[in-house]
Amino acid sequence: MAHALYGSADYLKRHPAPANDPLGGRAVIVWDEAYANLPAARWPAKAWPSAPVALTVSSLSTHLAAARAGLGLAVLPCFLTSDEPTLIEVLPPSRVLVEDLWLVTHANLAHSARVRTVSDFVARTIASAASALENRYPATD
């Protein structure tokens, strides 16, 4: 699942970055410490440790809303932003985060018809959304 760094058009206009430094002079929206184990929560601290923090949040929907509102830059899954015309990709997934999705089942339940039915449904659903999850869209000119 691909993640990129996004900001609203308004925020980017109000906080222009210096040449060759798309993060310069900009603040980041971060995850609350309770979510420090999430890869998207670890990225800003690792890749951009000196970033000023604009807001600390505890949900993905709040990250998205804060970025839309122009409060700062946010690490967001690309599939959430595909229909967000006001959000602009500041750094692509290749510079931010691409993570694998796993569907794990306890060995004792793997052969249960009910568990297998749900697992198969989830696997089909994820497979059908692979282009969006991996941020593979047709090039536009």
Region 4-20 average pLDDT: 94
**How many other C-beta atoms lie within 10 A of the C-beta of residue 47?**
15
pTM: 0.80
Residues 78, 131, single domain; the answer is: no
Instruction: List the one residue out of 62, 91, 112 whose CA is nearest residue 54.
Output: 62
Residues 76, 130, single domain; the answer is: no
pLDDT value at residue 140: 37
Residues 16, 77, single domain; the answer is: yes
Residues 138, 88, single domain; the answer is: no
**Contact assessment for residue 121 and residue 114, using Cβ atoms and an 8 Å cutoff:** no
How far is it, in rounded angstroms, from Cα 33 to Cα 57? 9
The H-assigned helical ranges of 17-139 are: 39-47, 60-68, 78-81, 113-128, 130-133
Residues 6 or more apart whose CB falls under 8 angstroms from that of 45 comprise 30
Residues 94, 112, single domain; the answer is: no
- pLDDT by residue (tens digit) across 82-140? 888 899 999 999 999 998 878 888 999 988 999 988 988 888 877 776 666 666 544 33
Range of the domain at 91: 2-98
pLDDT value at residue 138: 42
- pLDDT by residue (tens digit) across 25-54? 999 999 999 999 999 999 998 999 999 999
